[in-house]
Structure 1
Amino acid sequence: MTLSAFPFSITDFSAIDPEIHQGITGFAEWRILYRDDIRIRLVTYSPNYLADHWCNKGHIIFCAEGEMETELENGEKHLLKKGQLYTVGDKADAHRSYSEHGCTLFIVD
């Protein structure tokens, strides 16, 4: 990854209006910052959130609070807990998220 020459800045995610994305159950609240081709998000999943799609996009995801389960399209399931990070590349492993109790994630893609 190459970062373009954007200037130094500090972001207060609480000052960014959230986008609400409904899941099959629950919802996700996205606060998004763009830096050229890079999307940086603070995402909060409600309790019992289940994504409504299989995602093929690559991500770097850090779990700041709570935990979530990531299911791969091949049936594998992985638990991401507070303080852990996962990475997946574009078109590498289709995945979807579920969080029983809710969580907060920092995502770069």
Structure 2
Amino acid sequence: MKNSNIPFQTIDWKNVPRTEHKGETGTAYWQTMQFEGLRVRYVEYSENYKADHWCEKGHIVYCLEGEVINELKDGTQSILRKGMSYIVSDDLSSHRSITEQGVHLLIIDGDFLKSNI
């Protein structure tokens, strides 16, 4: 992996453009900072959000507010609440997000999470 330097910077998320992504139900709103090999997102899922796909991408996820159900394709579920995180590498799980009341997340992903298998 190429080492890409990111200079010191602060991110005022209220000034980062917000994009809308419809789920099977509900809506996800992303605010994205993209760097070479690294993506940092502030993500809000509306209440009653259910992802419209199974994700294979690796993530580091930190729950800022609310809670989200993480469902794996095998039916296993876990709940992420405020102050909790999960981490997974690319191609190691098929997962999707489901909310009842909505949630705010900080999600980091990039080349460093590529699977070695």
TM-score bracket for the superposition, by shorter chain length: over 0.9
1:23-62 matches, within 5 Å, as 23-62=23-62
Q: Deviations over 1:41-73 (max 9, x none)?
A: 000000000000000000000000000000001
The aligned residue for residue 89 of structure 1 is 89
Q: What is the DSSP-based 3-state SS (H/G/I as helix, E as strand, rest coil) of the residue aligned with 2:14?
A: helix
The aligned residue for residue 65 of structure 2 is 65
Q: What is the DSSP-based 3-state SS (H/G/I as helix, E as strand, rest coil) of the residue aligned with 2:8?
A: coil
Distance 2:12 2:75 in 1: 37
Distance 1:3 1:87 in 2: 22
Aligned residues with identical type, % of pairs: 44
Which of structure 1's runs of 4+ aligned residues deviate more than 4 A? Answer: none
The aligned residue for residue 4 of structure 1 is 4
The aligned residue for residue 114 of structure 2 is none
Deviation at 1:6, TM superposition (A): 1.8
For structure 2, the 5+ residue unaligned runs are 110-117
Q: What is the DSSP-based 3-state SS (H/G/I as helix, E as strand, rest coil) of the residue aligned with 1:49?
A: coil
Q: What is the DSSP-based 3-state SS (H/G/I as helix, E as strand, rest coil) of the residue aligned with 1:14?
A: helix
Count of residue correspondences: 109
The aligned residue for residue 98 of structure 2 is 98
Deviation at 1:5, TM superposition (A): 1.3
TM-score by length of 2: 0.90
In structure 2, relative to structure 1, the CA distance for the partners of 1:74 and 1:13 (3 Å cut) is same
Deviation at 1:2, TM superposition (A): 7.6
Question: Is residue 22 from structure 1 mapped to residue 22 from structure 2 by the alignment?
Answer: yes
Deviation at 1:35, TM superposition (A): 1.7
RMSD: 1.3
For structure 1, the 5+ residue unaligned runs are none
TM-score by length of 1: 0.96
Deviation at 1:37, TM superposition (A): 1.0
